[in-house]
Structure 1
């Protein structure tokens, strides 16, 4: 075969990959946007809107997997992984607020490595929810969220794998930092609450 013929064949393959890559990039951006919209809706208590966004994101996750089934080199890339993480984070947060069982990687059709990275992001979203509860004065509920965050963190720390398989160490370090800050905030809030109660009692005497 002549070089020109080889190059022609290569061009055909790369042109197909390039077109798929562009479509995949658009799809992943849509997944990230829909997942972010769902999380915002959840914080506002708008579960109906969150469900709509998550259902649409789930359709795109499946579409992405099917679209790239013959191009695993494109499927296991950073931008696809990031979209999966955002979707997992949103789904876990939704399930937590609805007090439902958490969906598995198989149910979401997400690679296990992407799913576990999403768990790391989920801890960060729980902190945001924790802070909202503190601002609303619901210390008891905030403490409940903290203890759940702690349990998720402990499970996350049982995973020890090389970076080449899944970059979990970074998520673990971030989760540890988030948990430490959250405990500091909770402790400060409980101390302030106790002081307020003592002050109120003193004023009544």
Structure 2
């Protein structure tokens, strides 16, 4: 085969990949946007909107997987992984607030490594929920959320794999830092509440 023919074939393959890459980038941006919208809606208590956004994101996740099934080099890229993480974070947060079973990677159609990284992000979202509860004065519920975060962290720490397989170490370090800050916030809130109660009792005497 002549070099010109080989180059022509290479160009055809790369043109196809380039087109798929552009389409994949668009889809991943949409997944990230929809997942972010769902999380914002959940914090507002708008579950109907959150469900709508998550359903749309789920369809795009499936479409992306189908579109790239013969192009695994494109599927296992950073931008696809990031979109998966955002979606996992949103769906886990939704499931937690609704008291539902957490869907598995297989059920969502997402690689296990991406799902694991999404769990790390989920801990961060729980902290935001925790802070909202504290600001609303619901210390008991906030403490419940903290203990749940702690249980997730303990499970996340059992994943010990090389960076080339799954870059989980960074998420574990972030989760540890988040957990430490959350415990500090909870401790301060409980101390403040206890002092407030003692002050009220003293004023009644």
Query: Which TM class, normalised by the smaller chain length?
Result: over 0.9
Compute the TM-score of the two structures, normalised by the length of structure 2: 1.00
String of CA shifts for 1:2-58, please: whole Å, max 9, x gaps: 111110000000000000000000000000000000000000000000000000000
Within-5 A mapping of 1:135-174 = 135-174=135-174
Structure 1: how far apart are the matches of 2:184 and 2:95? 26
SS at match of 1:167: coil
Counterpart CA distance in 2 for 1:111 and 1:193 is 44
CA deviation after TM superposition for structure 1 residue 147, in Å: 0.1
Task: Report the Cα offset of residue 61 of structure 1.
Answer: 0.1
Q: Partner of 1:185 in structure 2?
A: 185
Quick one: distance in 1 between partners of 2:100 and 2:54?
A: 15
* Mapping 1:94-173, distance limit 5 Å: 94-173=94-173
Q: Residues of 2 paired with 1:116 and 1:9: CA distance?
A: 38
Task: Tell me the equivalent position of 1:13.
Answer: 13
Q: For 2:5 and 2:157, how far apart are their aligned partners in 1?
A: 53
The runs of at least 4 consecutive aligned structure 1 residues that moved more than 2 Å come to none
Note the residue ranges of structure 2 that are not aligned, 5 or more in a row.
none
Q: Distance in 2 between matches of 1:75 and 1:8?
A: 25
C-alpha distance in 2, partners of 1:9/1:203?
86
2:50 alignment partner in structure 1: 50
- The CA distance in 1 between the partners of 2:161 and 2:130, in whole Å, is 30
Measured against aligned partners, the alpha-carbon deviations of 1:126-159 in whole angstroms (never above 9, x if no partner) come to 0000000000000000000000000000000001
The offset of 1:68, in angstroms, is: 0.2
SS at match of 2:159: coil
Q: Cα offset for 1:195?
A: 0.3
In structure 2, what is the Cα distance between the partners aligned to 1:202 and 1:196?
10
TM-score, L = length of structure 1? 1.00
